[in-house]
Amino acid sequence: MSLQILLFLLLLVLGYFIGSYLERKHYRSIIKREAALNVLPAVASKILPAGSESYEQTLVLGNVTISVDYFKRFLATLHNFFGGSVSSYETLLDRARREALLRMKQEAQRLNADLVLNVKYETASIYKGSGSGVGSVEVLAYGTAMIPKRSAT
């Protein structure tokens, strides 16, 4: 029994320190890449802008799966007991959305796109129903990349 408690506390402490280290590192990388990719706008508009005849359109995808650490999961369990916003999952989902969008934009940039239209997100939770197992979240960002036609230029 005491061994179980000890293991639990160890996982909690490890989860907290490793989890927050990885999170800080991830945020630094996200902020850096977002600034670099800001030249390529990604918008939710579905309407083709004027002059789109000179563009080719193709689907671009960005997909990421991020796992929740033990500490965050335990905190979420506590939140489940008391109610209120599950703040421990907020950073997790924020990172996942931004990372997915960044990967989509990277793909669009590789294709020399000027713009990504009709951007949408899909979210899925992995390990659903695994009981006490640590869960992960998957975010897929996709949109229509507008790539200038070579012949037109």
Measured at the CA of 137, the angle between CA 30 and CA 133, to 5 degrees, comes to 130
For residue 10, state whether it binds other proteins (rule: CB under 8 A): no
- Residue 42 or 140 having the CB closest to other proteins: 42
How many other β-carbons are positioned within 10 Å of the β-carbon of residue 35?
9
Which of 7, 10, 18, 31 binds other proteins (CB under 8 A)? It is 31
CA dist 106 to 12, 113, 139, Å?
Answer: 35, 10, 16
- Contact at 8 Å (CB) between 64 and 138? yes
Select the residue interacting with other proteins from 6, 14, 36, 43 (CB under 8 A): 43
Q: Does 20 bind other proteins (CB under 8 A)?
A: yes
122 near other proteins, judged by CB under 8 A? no
85 binds other proteins (CB under 8 A): yes
Strand order in the sheet with 136-148: 55-67, 136-148, 115-126
Which residues form the interface with other proteins (CB under 8 A)? 16, 20, 27, 31, 34-35, 38, 41-43, 45, 49-52, 71-72, 74-75, 78-79, 81-82, 85, 87-88, 90-91, 93-94, 114-115
